[in-house]
């Protein structure tokens, strides 16, 4: 069922609409044995304490996690930045069109938008 190469790590995510929750899994094949990551424990720390990361990922593993979340329907808030950038370009183009039509085609502007 789990076809995975030795040393290979894999993330996968499942969305459950009835509970509105995502389930994230991490598995790795080591020494011929398939292993799944489990939830980590929350430990109490004091301000300023050194804390180990919950998980360390290589770039390929981090990319795979992002891809599996994307495939499950999650989008980064920053993705709106891409849409926002497109919106800004479209707005700029609309302004440029207005400037061009007002500067080079004043008769068109008066006919379609009235005199200012």
Helix (H, G, I), strand (E, B) or coil at 97: helix
Give residue 46's pLDDT.
95
- Dihedral sign, Cα of residue 68, residue 53, residue 79, residue 16: positive
Using left for φ > 0, alpha for ψ between -120 and 50, and beta otherwise, residue 23 falls in beta
Look at residue 47 in the predicted model and tell me its pLDDT: 94
From residue 28, alpha-carbon distances to 16, 40, 61, 114 in Å are 24, 16, 11, 69
Domain locations in the chain as residue ranges: 1-42+55-74, 79-113
Check residue 109 and give its pLDDT: 57
The pLDDT, as a whole number, for residue 111 is: 59
pLDDT, one tens digit for every residue, the chain (116 residues): 567 778 778 888 888 999 999 999 888 888 888 888 887 788 899 999 999 888 888 898 889 999 999 888 888 887 655 555 677 778 878 888 887 777 777 666 555 555 55
Question: What's the count of helices (H) and strands (E) in the chain, helices before strands?
Answer: 3, 3
């Amino acid at each position: 069922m789990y076809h995975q190469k030795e040393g290979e790590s894999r993330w996968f995510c499942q969305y459950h609409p009835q509970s509105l929750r995502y389930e994230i899994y991490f598995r790795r094949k080591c020494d011929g044995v398939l292993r799944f990551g489990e939830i980590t424990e929350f430990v109490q720390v004091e301000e300023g304490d050194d804390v180990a990361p919950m998980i360390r990922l290589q770039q390929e593993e981090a990319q795979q996690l992002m891809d599996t979340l994307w495939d499950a329907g999650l989008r980064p808030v920053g993705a709106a930045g891409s849409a926002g950038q497109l919106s800004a370009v479209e707005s700029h183009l609309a302004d440029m069109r207005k400037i061009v039509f007002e500067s080079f085609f004043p008769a068109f502007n008066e006919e379609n938008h009235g005199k200012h």
